[in-house]
Amino acid sequence: MRQTLITGTGSYLPERIITNDDLAARMDTSDEWIRQRTGIGQRHMVAEGQKTSDLAIAAGEKALEHAGLNATDLDCIIIATTTPDDTFPATAATVQAGLGASNAFAFDVQAVCAGFVYGLDVGDSMVKCGKANKALVIGAESFTRILDWEDRSTAVLFGDGAGAVVLEASEDHDGWGILSSTLYTDGRFKDILYVDGGVSSTGTVGHVRMKGREVFRHAVEKLSSSMEAALKISGLEASDVDWLVPHQANLRIIDSMQKKLNLDENKVVRTVHEHANTSAASIPLALDTAVADGRIKPGHVIAFEAIGGGLSWGAALARFGKP
């Protein structure tokens, strides 16, 4: 049976770093509050004129290099983003041209912080059904562009960046590749995490608004149930997971999930202290960090999970690399 292998990863972070102390100098907050409540120590921020597509292209180039592919080998590019360059065309079209991926069709997926698990599922489906043989899935965000710097309850939480994975079809996979994926949405909760602007509502871009405590309450419960479902579909147990690579919104949520899954704390990839919450980019950024530093190796079972505005959430399991 046709399977989808994850054969390459890459990431890119803008050069500019904003520390908690930098924020404390401009708003009523402190390094202590931010670290205690979220685990965040710093975030990267796009430069003037730097766009989401620029971040995505840089991450995509690295993932292609890691997989040993040329851009022209790709037949599908999916960008998960909630901060596109423009209302249209899709940021993916700009990325396709920027990479020189002339044989690929390209489109965006919008599921906010759950964007990467959605994009991965769509890419996997494209590969499994034979629509694509080689796909690039990128989570890319310039999230600081939609922050209200007067609102300390959200301004301290987010950062910018991009992460990418290469997916390749394989008939000879020995049980490697993407093993299961679960996606969920409950639009009844759209008002607890949203942007107060949009094309057909206000005609403006808007700013992030969040009832943090309510989102937190949903997060642990929904991440747990979606991970349980993904484990069941794959036929694996939590004890089979080598690495949990979770969405990086809050260290307390990440640690709760580690405990719920009864995982050793050294089996969790944590980047929230350095990257903050980069929305759809956070999982592939964390994945690439742990692949690059040698923690995640070919053959390891990886668990992904994320929740964000919508509410939208999901989980996925994969045996990383190619046999």
Which residue from 92, 33, 117, 164 is spatially nearest to 305, judged by alpha carbons? 117
Diameter over CA atoms, the chain: 57
Task: Name which of 2 and 26 has its Cβ closer to ligand UT7.
Answer: 26
Specify which residues 134 forms β-bridges with: 168
Q: Residues 6 or more apart from 283 whose CB is under 8 A from it? A: 116, 117, 139, 163, 245, 246, 247, 248, 304, 306
Active site residue 113: yes
135 near ligand UT7, rule: CB under 6 A: no
Residue 215 in tokens: 């989102």
Catalytic residue among 66, 207, 247, 275: 247
Task: Name which of 3 and 277 has its Cβ closer to ligand UT7.
Answer: 277
277 near ligand UT7, rule: CB under 6 A: yes
Site string for ligand UT7, 226-265 (x = CB under 6 A): -----------------------xx--x------------
Residue from 19, 29, 185, 224 touching ligand UT7 (CB under 6 A): that is 29
| Cα separation values, 127 from 27, 76, 83, Å | 47, 9, 26
Q: Are 301 and 317 in contact (CB under 8 A)?
A: yes
Terminal C-alpha separation, the chain: 15
Shortest-Cβ-distance residue relative to ligand UT7: 212
Cα–Cα distance, 171 to 163 (Å, whole number) = 26
CB of 84 to ligand UT7, least distance (A): 18
Catalytic residue among 44, 66, 113, 250: 113
**Helix %, strand %, coil % for the chain, to 5?**
40, 25, 35
212 near ligand UT7, rule: CB under 6 A: yes
CB of 226 to ligand UT7, least distance (A): 14
Residue from 153, 185, 225, 256 touching ligand UT7 (CB under 6 A): that is 153
156 near ligand UT7, rule: CB under 6 A: yes
Residue 313 in tokens: 């959430």
CB of 112 to ligand UT7, least distance (A): 7
Q: Which residues are catalytic?
A: 113, 247, 277
> What residues line the site for ligand UT7 (CB under 6 A)?
29, 33, 37-38, 113, 152-153, 156-157, 212-213, 215-216, 219, 249-250, 253, 277, 307-308
